[in-house]
Amino acid sequence: MKISRRELVAMLGATTLAPSAVWSQAVSGIHLGAQTNAWPIDTKSVESFVTVLQEIKRTGYEGFETGYFNVEQHMDNLPALRGQIEATGLTFFGLHIAIGKDKCDPETLLPSASLYEQMAPVAKTLGAHHWILSGIAAKDPSQIPGKVAGLLTAAEYADRIGLPLLYHNHWWEFANGGVEADALLEGTQRSSVRFLFDAGHAFRAGADVPKFLQAHHSRIGALHLRDYQNGKQVPLGRGTFPLADVVGILRQTSWSGWLINEEDSDGKQKLGSDVIEPAFQALHKAVTS
């Protein structure tokens, strides 16, 4: 879909949204967001967290996702924190309750119920639209049914509290031909579980990302996008990730939802705007061209 300069000016004149919001909302309900992982955040400092959100807004994104550890130490004054988040003008897409062997249930390979039952209500109080789980790898196929069962239990909890759950994959769900990813999709198809498809991780594992999207777009609530060159993560648009093909499938299927840049540089260094800004430009161009 293309918009003329005249049409864009008219749209900008009729709304206070940032130009990126106008563009993305004009393209089949696709919205652009960023994970805060790109920046070093002092988890003890609300100011450090909010400053990153302001940087995300300045770059042009509509919303953000963040790890639970960035709000965990501020639960004594959640209304004030919500006010500061809302003041940035960003949509709080989701709170990610992340992996770590010490935080995971050995039976489900997911964050323990005690952790997500503590943090998911925090996400809701802060105005997040979703809460997100990611788990550790199944070392043996016999472990996968336990992971499916854990997701189904988490989905029942999500339904009770009225906040949608997304499952976020890493590369290991797509190893060995995507056996684990397929099992998770099949085992949860009759539940409310949808997926935050990390297309970059899947690509790293050798998955045919456009083909996967074509087959499973109805189960995908959002995408994480990241890029690789010679096995090393690089800003989106500077590697071999098939971004144009991905956007083409999303348009073809009339998919709507969030595209989220996650530029964590393989966890080795937090480069902030140095990687987020070129990633945003690549994503914005792909969605609007």
pLDDT bracket for residue 162 (50, 70, 90) = very high
pLDDT bracket for residue 272 (50, 70, 90) = confident
pLDDT at 16 over 60: no
pLDDT bracket for residue 21 (50, 70, 90) = very low
Q: How many residues does the chain have?
A: 289
pLDDT for the residue numbered 28: 61
Give one word for 36, left, alpha or beta, with left for phi > 0 and alpha for psi -120 to 50.
alpha
27-48: average pLDDT: 92
Cite the beta strand spans of 137-208 per DSSP E. 165-168, 194-198
Mean model confidence pLDDT for the chain: 90
Residue-wise pLDDT for 52-65, tens only, equals 999 999 999 999 99
pLDDT bracket for residue 2 (50, 70, 90) = very low
How far is Cα 131 from Cα 116, in angstroms, rounded to an integer?
9
CB 60 within 8 A of CB 90: no
Identify which has the larger pLDDT, 168 or 289: 168
pLDDT at 71 over 50: yes
pLDDT for the residue numbered 265: 63
Q: Over pLDDT 90: what percentage of the chain? A: 81
Identify which has the larger pLDDT, 99 or 11: 99
pLDDT for the residue numbered 17: 42
86-100: average pLDDT: 94
pLDDT for the residue numbered 226: 94
CB 63 within 8 A of CB 258: yes
pLDDT at 3 over 50: no
pLDDT at 255 over 70: yes
pLDDT for the residue numbered 13: 39
Query: Which homologous superfamily is 5-288 in?
Result: Divalent-metal-dependent TIM barrel enzymes (3.20.20.150)
Residue-wise pLDDT for 227-250, tens only, equals 999 988 999 999 999 999 999 999
Q: Delimit the domains of the chain by residue range.
A: 5-288
16-38: average pLDDT: 67
From 18-27, 182-191, 195-204, 267-276, the region with the lowest mean pLDDT: 18-27
CB 257 within 8 A of CB 248: no
pLDDT at 25 over 60: no
How far is Cα 10 from Cα 80, in angstroms, rounded to an integer?
36
pLDDT for the residue numbered 267: 63
pLDDT for the residue numbered 103: 77
CB 54 within 8 A of CB 46: no
